[in-house]
């Protein structure tokens, strides 16, 4: 016997609906987001089982997430948990309810019905190892910190453009320790012009610079003493306060990112797939850890290279109707994995002749830089899939043997 469970989850409670193979509702209710709630969910499933049944039923759960304590608890007791895309739920609801009505209990019923009729279309929650889960969590936190720092740097750049152009001449990268350490003591043009070379050098050393300190200090001093248009003193001071506060936050981000990178390196180095992934051109510790974390390490999750590429969002999407046929990039995808794959491909074209040849070939065919990198990433994912399945390290000749015409 099979039972299908839909769970519409929220922060403090979850609506549950249990149906049988005919679509009839056998049990439903609301459970809390705690241990008692999980026990009640199991009780609802138990109540749906006919008294005369001698064996445990197969329980298939549909839920709009693939992570969290509830998901782990459901997997732990042996339920088959399917992660359902929220967009799919919206479209399925519109298909069966033309009125447009929506409710949490109703969505639980929709989720149960989706895994009953279209369970083969949905991705089972992967049975990843605890180490892979830890790598994913740290890698995501590290990546989020980098994205947050980038947003802060854009705010600083926007402010400097309004009153302190000399600082933009002095520093190309506003998250660099050189920029952070100097702007911390000179957040306005007036303070910048007053800095001596020795004070700049001291700030650079505090920021961690160990080589070419005096030369870099001289270049910064010259840039900060260049005349530019600026704001009245009161306005400049206001901007300066904004810059000083943002720079402090960037400094904290730099520390956080460095600490997380150390943890990430330690975790990634312990994983049995690390050596294989590090052998791939363009994959270092950080990018390799991101790729491993987002793909997971469940050996049965991706039956083929195509399945892995589809999950990555690198394989093209074909839309055909009648005589019209359009091939375009996938836009609904894991954005964290997409970012990691972009940098993987970007680095690979400078390390692998095969990857470079493919990139140049696609550029010559009219692809944009991003489009060509996406094609390279698509191939790199397939190569890595083969290496992981066969437990072999990357080999340039083997990986690109079918494209020798491009490398020639």
In a domain, 96, yes or no: yes
User: What proportion of the chain, given as a percentage, has pLDDT over 70?
Assistant: 92
pLDDT at 405 over 60: no
User: Residue 177 in contact with residue 168, Cβ under 8 Å?
Assistant: no
pLDDT digits (tens, 9 = 90+) for 138-191: 999 999 999 999 999 999 999 999 999 999 999 999 999 999 999 999 999 999
Average the pLDDT over 366-380 and give the result: 94
Domain end residue (candidates: 94, 124, 154): 124
CA atoms of 94 and 141, how far apart (whole Å):
36
Structure confidence at residue 408 as a pLDDT band (50, 70, 90): very low
| Pairing outcome for strands 80-83 and 58-63 | parallel
Domain end residue (candidates: 246, 266, 286): 266
What does the pLDDT read at residue 397?
Answer: 93
Same domain, 312 and 256: no
Same domain, 185 and 258: yes
In a domain, 253, yes or no: yes
What does the pLDDT read at residue 151?
Answer: 97
In a domain, 396, yes or no: yes
In a domain, 77, yes or no: yes
pLDDT at 9 over 80: yes
In a domain, 294, yes or no: yes
Same domain, 71 and 141: no
What does the pLDDT read at residue 328?
Answer: 58
pLDDT digits (tens, 9 = 90+) for 94-153: 666 655 567 878 889 989 999 998 888 787 887 889 999 999 999 999 999 999 999 999
Domain tally for the chain? 3
CA atoms of 156 and 246, how far apart (whole Å):
7
Residue 374: count of CB within 10 angstroms of its CB: 23
Average the pLDDT over 72-85 and give the result: 88
Domain end residue (candidates: 69, 97, 124): 124
Average the pLDDT over 209-219 and give the result: 96
CA atoms of 350 and 356, how far apart (whole Å):
7
Same domain, 139 and 198: yes
Rounded alpha-carbon distances, angstroms, from residue 121 to 50, 84, 205, 300, 342: 28, 9, 57, 16, 27
CA atoms of 3 and 46, how far apart (whole Å):
10
In a domain, 26, yes or no: yes
CA atoms of 107 and 115, how far apart (whole Å):
12
Same domain, 233 and 321: no
User: Residue 238 in contact with residue 187, Cβ under 8 Å?
Assistant: no
- Which of these ranges, 4-13, 177-186, 231-240, 338-347, has the smallest mean pLDDT? 4-13
CB < 8 Å & 24+ apart, contacts of 240-243: 240/163, 240/164, 240/187, 240/188, 240/191, 241/187, 242/159, 243/156, 243/159, 243/160, 243/164, 243/183, 243/187, 243/188
What does the pLDDT read at residue 403?
Answer: 65
> Which strand (E) or helix (H) includes residue 34?
none
Same domain, 298 and 246: no
* CA atoms 66, 71, 72, 77: torsion sign: negative
In a domain, 129, yes or no: no
pLDDT at 11 over 90: no
Q: What is the pTM of this model?
A: 0.82
Same domain, 256 and 337: no
Same domain, 207 and 290: no
pLDDT digits (tens, 9 = 90+) for 297-349: 998 888 899 989 988 988 776 665 666 665 556 656 789 999 999 999 999 99
What does the pLDDT read at residue 407?
Answer: 45
CA atoms of 31 and 41, how far apart (whole Å):
7
CA atoms of 200 and 331, how far apart (whole Å):
46
pLDDT at 81 over 50: yes
Same domain, 165 and 257: yes
Same domain, 316 and 386: yes
Average the pLDDT over 372-385 and give the result: 96
Which residues 6+ apart lie within 8 Å of 226 measured at CB? Answer: 166, 169
Stronger pLDDT, 345 or 78, i.e. the higher one: 345
What does the pLDDT read at residue 143?
Answer: 96
Quote the domain boundaries for residue 189. Answer: 134-266
Q: What is the domain-level CATH number for residue 35?
A: 3.30.420.40
In a domain, 254, yes or no: yes
pLDDT at 12 over 70: yes
Same domain, 30 and 55: yes
pLDDT at 267 over 50: yes
Same domain, 299 and 353: yes
């Amino acid at each position: 016997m099979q039972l299908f469970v839909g769970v519409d989850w929220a922060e403090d409670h979850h609506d549950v609906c249990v149906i049988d193979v005919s679509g009839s509702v056998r049990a439903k209710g609301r459970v809390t987001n705690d241990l008692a709630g999980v026990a009640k969910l199991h009780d609802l499933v138990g109540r749906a089982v006919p008294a005369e049944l001698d064996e445990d039923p197969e329980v298939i759960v549909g839920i709009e997430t693939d992570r969290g304590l509830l998901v782990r608890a459901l997997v732990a007791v042996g339920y088959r948990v399917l992660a359902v895309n929220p967009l799919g739920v919206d479209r399925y609801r519109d298909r069966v309810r033309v009125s447009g009505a929506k409710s949490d209990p109703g969505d639980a019923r929709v989720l149960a019905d989706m895994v009953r009729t279209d369970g083969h279309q949905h991705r089972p929650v992967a049975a990843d190892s605890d180490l892979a889960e830890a790598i994913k969590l740290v890698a995501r936190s590290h990546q989020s910190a980098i994205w947050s720092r980038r947003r802060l740097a854009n705010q600083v750049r926007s402010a400097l453009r309004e009153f302190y152009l000399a600082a933009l001449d002095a520093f190309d990268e506003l998250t660099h320790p050189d920029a952070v350490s100097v702007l911390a003591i000179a957040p306005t043009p007036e303070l910048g012009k007053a800095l001596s070379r020795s004070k700049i050098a001291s700030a650079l050393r505090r920021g961690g610079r160990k080589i070419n300190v005096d030369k870099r200090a001289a270049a910064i001093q010259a840039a900060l003493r260049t005349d530019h248009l600026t704001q009245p003193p009161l306005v400049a001071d206001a901007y300066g306060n904004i810059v000083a506060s943002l720079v402090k936050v960037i400094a904290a981000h730099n520390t956080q990112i460095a600490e997380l990178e150390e943890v990430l390196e330690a975790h990634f180095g312990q994983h049995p797939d690390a050596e294989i992934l590090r052998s791939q051109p363009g994959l270092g510790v950080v990018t390799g850890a991101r790729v491993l974390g987002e793909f997971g390490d469940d050996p049965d999750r991706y039956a083929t290279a195509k399945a892995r590429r589809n999950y990555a969002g690198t394989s093209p999407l074909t839309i055909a109707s009648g005589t019209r046929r359009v091939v375009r990039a996938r836009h609904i995808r894991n954005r964290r994995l997409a970012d990691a794959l972009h940098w993987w491909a970007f680095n690979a074209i400078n390390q692998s002749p095969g990857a470079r040849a493919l990139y140049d070939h696609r550029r010559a065919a009219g692809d944009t830089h991003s489009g060509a990198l996406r094609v390279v990433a698509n191939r790199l994912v397939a190569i890595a899939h083969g290496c992981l399945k066969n437990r072999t390290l990357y080999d340039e000749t083997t990986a690109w043997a079918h494209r020798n015409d491009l490398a020639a």
